[in-house]
Amino acid sequence: MNLGKNAKISSALDYASGSADRNGAILDMQGYEGVLMIVKFAAIAAGAVTSIKAQQDTASGGGTMADLAGTGISVAADDDNQIFVIDLYKPTERYVRLVIDKDAANATAESAIYVQYESRKEANNNVTDAVTYELHVSPAEGTA
């Protein structure tokens, strides 16, 4: 199985540092069974109280997003440069998003991506100005 043809990669949150809560892009799960919500933290301020969680909604606008029980993960102030993953499998509503909860007093820096998996059709990961995907099967040694 080739993961790149069976999973869709998209941006959830561009890199930013700050103390305000951040909502990830709203993701349409139609045609996929699950999604990895992958957050990479950089610098986290000493004393910061930070966490991540997943939400879902029936509407694409996300006006009634609701937290998903058990998806919250606490991020310690000394978790600089660590990766956190929420694996959301078979959400009960069509639209989901990642949320970064911050304490409004201390800055954290992070970015995040979504990896949707168990697609009913081959995923297209070449999205203009968003994702560039190349598959290399048994490449010979030489100039990259």
User: Where are the chain's structural domains?
Assistant: 3-119
Prediction pTM value: 0.87
37-66: string of b/e by CB count within 10 Å (b at 16+)?
bbbebeebbeebbbebbbbbbeeeebeebe
**How confident is the prediction along the chain (144 residues), in pLDDT tens digits per residue?**
677 777 889 999 999 999 999 999 999 999 999 999 999 999 899 999 999 999 999 999 999 999 999 999 999 999 999 999 999 999 999 999 999 999 999 999 999 999 999 987 766 666 656 677 777 888 888 888
Select 3-119's CATH number: 3.40.309.10, 2.70.180.20, 2.60.120.1110, 3.40.50.300. 2.60.120.1110
